[in-house]
Amino acid sequence: MAVSPTEAPVESPGVDQNGLLVVENLKKYFPITRGIIFQREIAAVKAVDGVSFSVRQGETLGVVGESGCGKSTMARCIMRLLDPTAGRITFDGRDITNLSRAEMRPFRRELMMIFQDPYASLNPRKRVGFIVSEALEVHNMGTEAENKRRVQELLDVVGLNPEHYNRFPHEFSGGQRQRIGIARALAVNPKLIVCDEPVSALDVSVQAQILNLLKDLQSTFGLTYVFIAHDLNVVRHISDRVMVMYLGHGVEIAPKSKLYTAPKHPYTGALLSAVPVPDPDARGKKKVVLEGDVPNPINPPSACWFHPRCPRFQEGHCDVETPPLYSFSEGQFAACHYPLEGWPLTEDEMRRPSSGPVS
């Protein structure tokens, strides 16, 4: 599929061109083919369908969404593990959207990833020392002795015993393996780390350890994070700004403080409302429970992608005109014609927008 960099036309709202990572109108479609001898594309799974955001140096952008929203696909596109179908990705001032594998090589040092499954993301046949130092060797970053020392330093920094240099992954617990993954990402002094659900597979008590570690490392090494998760609590804890994704689109971006106290998009509201709060007194509070399932990304709804499930759906408008990312105060953007007036709202208030559409 051809990538057309010219398809990132207008200045996307909320996108700071000076950011370390700038993503404009990113799209990734997976074609579905049919045919007897020659395969013809008849449809496409629109996994990511126009996402724009930017991340400044030193900040953490949280990306939250449920299964099927495209956040993992987007992460892989940013890392150029997948080739984008359209859009533009700019890293540290350079357009990396269409670079070949060879051209991309030097950027791989600066852009690293931590994966979700600590059991599957480490090669079980390699020792920990090799796993962490592999990137150093690939990029010729030091002699063997220097690399070994660096690996031991890193193991110490992430809270593991440097003596365990020669052990295999299966000798570690899940939380420890995730630390190895973090050490691996840090080895080459990256500028940006994409964390793809790094704590989802861990127990709650271990989750806290890893989150604290990530925060400490960020301040020590001046790292920038794109933190992807489906757990709103976790994202709140670690992010500066948060983007909410639904069906391949970013439906709301806001600074953390605004998103959790004054969300604008009904989907954000539903997500916040659905999270169980560990406080028995909160039991009485009425929740907004979304009906139905996420639609099929092969055949997404017309206009506003959320309209079939939206409690404030206004017929004739929401299913006809696609909402752009409207700008609200203090860097908050939401793609909704009838944004939430306040928070929390009762179910009735959710269903009845009190004001007219955003102009």
Partner 1 sequence: MALLEVRDLKTHFRTDDGIVKAVDGVSFSVEKGKTLGIVGESGSGKSVTCLSIMGLNPKRNTISSGEAIFNGKNLLTMGSNELREIRGNDLAMIFQDPMTSLNPVHRIGHQLVEAVQLHRDVSKKQARARALDLLKAVGIPRAERRIDDYPHQFSGGMRQRVMIAMALVNDPDLLIADEPTTALDVTTQAQILKLMTTLQHEVDSAIIMITHDLGVIAEIADDVVVMYAARVAEQGPVDALFKHPQHPYTWGLLGSLPRLDADVERLVQIQGQPPSLLNPPRGCRFHPRCPYVMNICTTEEPRLMPAGDHRDHLQACHLDQATKDREAAKLLAGTMAEAS
Partner 2 sequence: MVRYLIRRLIWAVVLFFAVTVVSYILFFIIPANPAKQACGQACSQKDVQRVAHNLGTDRPVYYQYYKFVKGLIWNQSLGFSYFTRQSVNGIVGNAAPVTASLVFGGVVLWMLIAIPIGVLSALRPRSLLDRISMTFVLIGISAHPIWIGLIFAYVFGFRLHLTPITGYCDFINPSTDCGGPVQWAYHMVLPWMTFAILFAALYVRMIRANTLDTMNEDYVRTARAKGAPEWLVLRSHILRNAMLPVVTMLGMDVGLALGGAVFTETVYSLPGLGKTAVGALNNYDIPTVQGVIVFATIAIIIFNLAVDLIYAWVDPRIRLG
250 neighbors 244 (Cβ within 8 angstroms) = yes
In the bound complex, what is the minimum distance in angstroms from residue 169's beta carbon to partner 2? 24
Q: Which does 34 bind (CB under 5 to 8 A by kind): partner 1, partner 2, none?
A: partner 2
CB-wise, 276 or 316, nearer to partner 1? 276
- The residues binding partner 1 (CB under 8 A) are 66-67, 173, 175-176, 203-209, 211-212, 215, 230-234, 236-237, 260, 270-280, 282-283, 287, 289-291, 293-294
Separation of alpha carbons 241 and 245, rounded Å: 13
Give the position of tokens 């990132």.
8
CB-wise, 42 or 274, nearer to partner 2? 42
Q: What are the structure tokens assigned to 266, written together?
A: 């009904």
Stretch of 28-36, 101-109, 205-213, 310-318 lying at the interface with partner 2 (CB under 8 A): 28-36
Could you tell me the strand order of the sheet in which 326-328 lies? 111-114, 192-196, 224-229, 60-64, 241-246, 249-255, 332-334, 326-328
In the bound complex, what is the minimum distance in angstroms from residue 330's beta carbon to partner 2? 48
CB-wise, 74 or 235, nearer to partner 1? 235
CB-wise, 10 or 37, nearer to partner 2? 37
Q: Verify binding: residue 34, partner 2, rule CB under 8 A.
A: yes
CA 6 to chain centre: 24
Q: Among 6, 9, 10, 37, which residue interacts with partner 2 (rule: CB under 8 A)?
A: 37
Q: Give the number of C-alpha atoms closer than 13 A to the C-alpha of residue 218, restricted to the C-beta side.
A: 22
Site for partner 2 in 262-321 (CB under 8 A): none
Separation of alpha carbons 41 and 23, rounded Å: 27
Stretch of 21-29, 30-38, 295-303, 351-359 lying at the interface with partner 2 (CB under 8 A): 30-38
Q: Which does 37 bind (CB under 5 to 8 A by kind): partner 1, partner 2, none?
A: partner 2
Separation of alpha carbons 138 and 225, rounded Å: 23
In the bound complex, what is the minimum distance in angstroms from residue 281's beta carbon to partner 1? 8
CB-wise, 32 or 275, nearer to partner 2? 32
Q: What are the structure tokens assigned to 228, written together?
A: 């992807």
Separation of alpha carbons 256 and 335, rounded Å: 17
Q: Which does 203 bind (CB under 5 to 8 A by kind): partner 1, partner 2, none?
A: partner 1
**What are the angstrom distances between the C-alpha of 4 and each of 9, 26, 30, 42, 156?**
10, 10, 16, 21, 45
Separation of alpha carbons 323 and 353, rounded Å: 16
Separation of alpha carbons 279 and 92, rounded Å: 44
Q: Verify binding: residue 36, partner 2, rule CB under 8 A.
A: yes
CB-wise, 43 or 274, nearer to partner 1? 274
> Strands 224-229 and 60-64: what pairing?
parallel
In the bound complex, what is the minimum distance in angstroms from residue 42's beta carbon to partner 2? 12
CA 341 to chain centre: 27
Separation of alpha carbons 84 and 77, rounded Å: 6
CB-wise, 136 or 195, nearer to partner 1? 195
CB-wise, 36 or 102, nearer to partner 2? 36
In the bound complex, what is the minimum distance in angstroms from residue 136's beta carbon to partner 1? 28
CB-wise, 154 or 199, nearer to partner 1? 199
Q: Which does 165 bind (CB under 5 to 8 A by kind): partner 2, partner 1, none?
A: none
Stretch of 31-39, 49-57, 215-223, 338-346 lying at the interface with partner 2 (CB under 8 A): 31-39
Separation of alpha carbons 144 and 163, rounded Å: 17
Q: What does residue 263 show for φ and ψ, rounded to 5 degrees?
A: -65, 150
Separation of alpha carbons 182 and 309, rounded Å: 38
**Count of residues binding partner 2 (CB under 8 A)?**
4
Q: Which residues bind partner 2 (CB under 8 A)?
A: 34-37
